[in-house]
Structure 1
Amino acid sequence: MAQQQGAKRAVTTIRLIINAGQAKPAPPVGPALGQHGLNLMGFCKEFNARTQQMKPDVPVPVTVTAYADRTFDFQIRSPSPMYFLKRAAGINRCAKSPGHDAAGTVTLKHIYEIAKIKQQDPDCQYLSLKGICTSLIGTARSMGIKVVRNLDSEATN
């Protein structure tokens, strides 16, 4: 019997968070991919090439699909909403008691811009922009970040 051409059999899916342009065969990349016999240097070179236009300190979620013939594919997503909200608010840490303390402030324009970026992700591409914005506002509030119409309105309140 002849083997079927085309379809590969996926063995596993590996999820990692790697800083843009900084993939190395050291942990966490090396052990995660090495145990499945994947080409570490090939992954590192291709990942670094795809993320070279990003800032080096941006944490990039990546999903690697390993196949039975020791080949792989990977998909890069945008950073988490928490990363974007912290950057927009200019903070390093969330509030210790959200709802009571405000760690920072973002405007609706920030929320809209983050939603436009997140809409490009494969898991969000079928959601409406309004739905993503609503989710981001909820995330911001749970982090202790105040959402205002514009920064001038905060000064007058």
Structure 2
Amino acid sequence: MGKQVVTQIKVQVTGGQATPAPPVGTALGPHGVNIGQFVQQFNDQTREMMGTTVPVVITVYNDRSFDFILKSPPAAVLLKKAAGIAKGSGNPLKNKVGTVTTDQLAEIAKMKYADLNSSSVEQAVKVIAGTARSMGIDVVD
């Protein structure tokens, strides 16, 4: 009969630094997945993204095997890195915490394009600009 999908789990893990502790262990444990095996494979695939938050979709099958798909890092994480800030503004309308250039926005949009539901890169840039605005980051030319 083959393998059947039991569930899909979405977690955000720091690249190259996954451990069996939460959120990984608590997400995979109830499904009987070999957590150590997942941690090993994930860390091997995300070596070059060390320290960056990486969303991952894990598909668990009825024989307790799994596979996973890495997504691009969240726009907010990429924007914080580009602007050189630790966190976004608590009040984005009054307090601006950093600036990014339109070139940086285009770079982030190209990186995230596959995971955004945009019809073009120009649309993706607008989506990323909106995220920046809501974080209190100014966009400059």
**Equivalent of 1:137 in 112, 121, 129:** 129
- Equivalence for 1:93: 87
Deviation at 1:100, TM superposition (A): 2.3
Instruction: Provide the aligned length of Structure 1 versus Structure 2.
Output: 141
Counterpart of 2:11 in structure 1 is: 16
CA distance in 2, matches of 1:14, 1:36: 10
Matched, 1:65 2:50: no
Q: CA deviation at 1:39?
A: 1.2
Correspondence for 2:99: 105
Instruction: Give how far 1:99 is off.
Output: 2.3
Counterpart residue number, 1:154: none
Residue aligned with 2:12, SS: strand
| 2:28 aligned partner | 33
| Corresponding residue SS for 1:35 | helix
Q: Give the letter for the 2:42 counterpart.
A: F
1:124 aligned onto 2:116 = yes
1:14 aligned counterpart, secondary structure: strand
Q: Report the equivalent of 1:84.
A: 78
Letter of the 1:49 partner, please give it.
D
The alpha carbon displacement at 1:91 in A equals 1.0
Q: Report sequence identity in percent.
A: 45
Normalised to the residue count of structure 1, the TM-score between the two structures is 0.83
How far, CA to CA, are the matches of 1:22 and 1:144 in structure 2?
Answer: 29
Moved over 3 A (4+): none
**Alpha-carbon distance between aligned partners in 2 of 1:33 and 1:96, rounded to the nearest angstrom:** 33
In proportion to residue count, which structure has more helix?
Answer: 2
What is the rounded CA distance, in whole Å, between the counterparts of 1:31 and 1:95 in structure 2? 31
SS of aligned partner of 1:15 = strand
What value does the CA root-mean-square deviation take over the aligned residues?
Answer: 1.5
Equivalent residue runs for 1:35-54 within 5 Å: 35-54=30-49
CA gap of 1:96–1:27, structure 2 versus 1, over 3 A, is closer
Deviations, residues 64-119 of structure 1 (Å, cap 9, x unaligned): 01111111110111110001111111111222221222111100001001011101
Cα gap change, 1:114/1:143 in structure 2, threshold over 3 Å: closer, same or farther?
Answer: same
